[in-house]
Amino acid sequence: MFHKEGFTIIIVSFILAAGIALGANYFIEPLFWQKALQIVVLIGLVLVLQFFRNPKRATSQNENHLIAPVDGKVVVIEEVFEKEYFKDQRLQVSIFMSPINVHVTRYAMSGKIAFSKYHPGKYLVAWHPKASEENERTTVVMENDSFGKVLYRQIAGALARRIVNYAKEGDVIVQGADAGFIKFGSRVDLFLPVGTPLNIQLNQKVKGGIDVIAHRK
């Protein structure tokens, strides 16, 4: 199953791959280079399909749990000053997505969308210290009775050229549901209330919609 945001790219990739592969039979010699080109094209097509995959996830909805919004590796756990929305100290958890990870963003909890804003910006590598403030990104604040307000930020990386965000202010959201997609990109930051008990550790790999990031106090 593939994400709808990748349909156009997948179709174009199929057409290009088929055209190049067939054209190689007529215009490329010797046979070694013909087959080498076809293999490279096939690998490229597989990478595109792999990037836009959207596996079904059976989320165990629990109002006392905050689940991982994306697949990836936990690269930051620290207290920081969040200056866009909260303007106070928050516990930041950052998840980095490599090109081989699923890039679907899922809602970490059920509740309502209190804030949603898109920011154009740069395309620094996702682990750059200033990526959270200077890269293309979206800022979304979710709210419910269990965790209060929790902010998540989709951040584009060096390869990303489009962030898709479905969250709109006032929307009622369901934990584990599709919240967006980062095309060829690469990091999501969560900002939680200071003191929130965590269920993850630095460098741990997590699966979006499945693994529990934090639990209610």
Q: Which of 13, 94, 132, 186 is catalytic?
A: 186
What are the start-end ranges of the H helices in 52-204? 131-134
Q: Which residues on neighbouring strands pair with residue 198, listed in sequence order?
A: 214
Tokens 């039979």 found at:
25
13 is catalytic: no
Reply yes or no: is the peptide bond before residue 193 cis, omega within 30 of 0: no
* CB neighbourhood size of 217 (10 A): 10
- Choose among 27, 25, 2: nearest CA to 14: 2
- What's the CA gap between 106 and 3, in Å, rounded? 12
Report the catalytic residues: 186
